[in-house]
Amino acid sequence: MNRHLLQKANANSGSIFRAKPNRPQLDLSILDRIQKSNGKWALQVSPRTQINQGSELEEARTQGPNEVGRIYTIRHMRTWSTVDISRELFDRLLELYQVFPEFWRVVLTFGLKPCENEYGFPIPQSRQSIAASNTIQELAYVIRRVEQNGRLSPECPWSIRQTGIYQKLVRPEDKSQTPSSLFFLVAPSSVAESNVVEVLSGIKSDDADAVTSSFSVHICLVAEGLVGWMDYMCWLEEQLKIKETRALAPTCGDPRNRPVEFVEKDRQNLKQLEDYITDLLVIFHTEEQNIRRLKAVCQKTCSAYCVKIGPCSCHQSIEEFENYATEAQSYRERAGVLQTRVRSVQNLLSDLLGYEEVRALRELATASRDESADIRKLTERSVQDGIAVKVLTIIGLVFMSLSLVGNFFSTQFVKTDERGLHVSSYVWVMIAAAALLTALVIIVWRLCQQYEYSKLQHVHPARQQSWKSLLWTDTLSDKETEPIV
């Protein structure tokens, strides 16, 4: 076992292995090759034997005379939970049967985990070696399957689970000797276990040996692993159609009432669908690799073991593996089409959201333009009112000077009697005094403005400029109002 795998196994041991009370750590099923009364050979699956201790494992290791294979099953209570075996018993199992270290890559995919990572699943591992005149073929891989979990909407009603498989096929160089097969099944489904027993019990021919039984087990596990993916992809496609229909459905009434929050919610759901489909692409790629590796091992074993002239049972297994590999490839291509559709709907919703943003900005610009027009009208009216007030002020200043002079002299410059209207000859005094007084007030006002401006000589230039503009505006206003005066 390489150092990296050993460190990883030791670090994750507590989250992978845990023996549980009232649950067997290992189940052992033995395959015996028996001869029927008609001379035909058949396989018989013995009742399961529960193993919970190392001593029981040692006792069960003894091989019977008609035994051609055995299957050790390790279970767990639910997905993402620890397997029901202790680390000590598991190490003892691997040591007794001299399992190659790459099987740990399969085991490390189990155990407690917050979420699944499809990139953590290994490609199929295999090794062939020769020991004591026997050819030993070892194979380890993970089969993914999908099952309904019974959850209600809005949660996903499907769960992706896995089964770890290890096989050790021992073929003696002497063709007269019977080969033997060893299987480790980690967390198989109840349906897969039933199918394996049913298929093995139904093998009745001259080929009822370890080679036939081993590939029958692989075919059964592969077939059960592929059975639910089509329904799962149909569910994904239905969810995609719902989102697509809602995005393309015309809105009733004013199109400006389309809810933007609906688009944001669907973008999140579509992202989740895209993640599901991306996981599918990785899963189907690995599944296809597993099946094609099994097919290659079956072909190699058939050419080395089978002595029949013409078709044998291995050819049927090879053909079935090819069919399942084609099915996995078809699922992968369909998942790619689904991924393309999801991205097209995402782009559509992004465009729709962009349209909503542009429409909102356009409405904001229209409202701002209308508000600017109203402000401009108010400003123009304020300017006109200011000019009128200034004109009235100047007029009032003139008449106020006249009134002040008249009151000062206490003289009636205009009299009315029975002879008519009489203007005093001293009326020029009032006019001259009023004119001088008005001029004096204006000069004092200008001097005050100049004094305020001189105080700003050392102030910030921007404020200086504002005062200059104010003085210049007032001067212009005065010039404009002179004809009125």
Phi, psi of 384 (to 5 degrees): -65, -40
Q: Can you give the pLDDT at residue 91? A: 93
pLDDT at residue 131 above 60? yes
- pLDDT value for 407: 67
**Total-model pTM:** 0.71
Task: Tell whether the model's pLDDT for residue 320 goes beyond 80.
Answer: yes
**Residue 450's pLDDT is what?**
78
Two tokens at 337?
């089409």
Q: Identify the band that residue 472 occupies on the pLDDT scale cut at 50, 70 and 90.
A: very low
Q: What is the mean pLDDT of the chain?
A: 80
Q: Which of 256, 267, 265, 261 is nearest to 355 (CA)?
A: 256
Report which of 381, 199, 162 is spatially closest to residue 283, judged by C-alpha positions: 162
The runs of H, that is alpha helices, within 410-460 are 427-455
Q: What is the pLDDT of residue 77?
A: 84
Number of H helices, E strands in the chain: 12, 10
pLDDT band at 110 (very low <50, low <70, confident <90, very high): very high
State pLDDT tens for residues 221-265: 999 999 999 999 999 999 998 888 877 764 444 555 554 455 667
DSSP state of 483: T
**Residue 69: which of 142, 168, 186 has the closest Cα?**
168
Cβ–Cβ under 8 Å, residues 219 and 321: yes
Please say if the pLDDT value at position 481 is more than 50. Answer: no
Give 63's DSSP letter: P
80 compared with 219, residue with greater pLDDT: 219
Can you tell me the distance from the alpha carbon of 361 to that of 250, in angstroms, rounded to the nearest whole number? 22
- CA distances for 330 relative to 86, 320, 334, angstroms: 40, 15, 6
Q: Is 206 helix (H, G, I), strand (E, B) or coil?
A: coil
The pLDDT assigned to 132 comes to 77
> In this structure, are residues 196 and 220 in contact, taking their beta carbons and an 8 Å threshold?
yes
* Residue carrying the six token digits 């040996």: 209
pLDDT of residue 482: 42
The mean-pLDDT minimum among 157-166, 181-190, 321-330, 474-483 falls in 474-483
CA distance 341 to 422: 104
Percent of the chain exceeding pLDDT 90 equals: 31
14-35: pLDDT as tens digits: 999 999 988 999 999 988 877 7
Q: Which of 190-204, 218-232, 353-367 has the highest mean predicted lDDT (pLDDT)?
A: 218-232
Q: List, for residues 393-409, the tens digit of each pLDDT value.
A: 777 766 776 676 666 66
- Segment among 2-6, 170-174, 432-436, 459-463 with least mean pLDDT: 459-463
Quote the pLDDT of residue 203: 62
H helix or E strand, kind and range, residue 396: helix 313-409
Residue 161 burial class via C-beta count within 10 angstroms: exposed 0-12, middle 13-18, buried 19 and up: buried
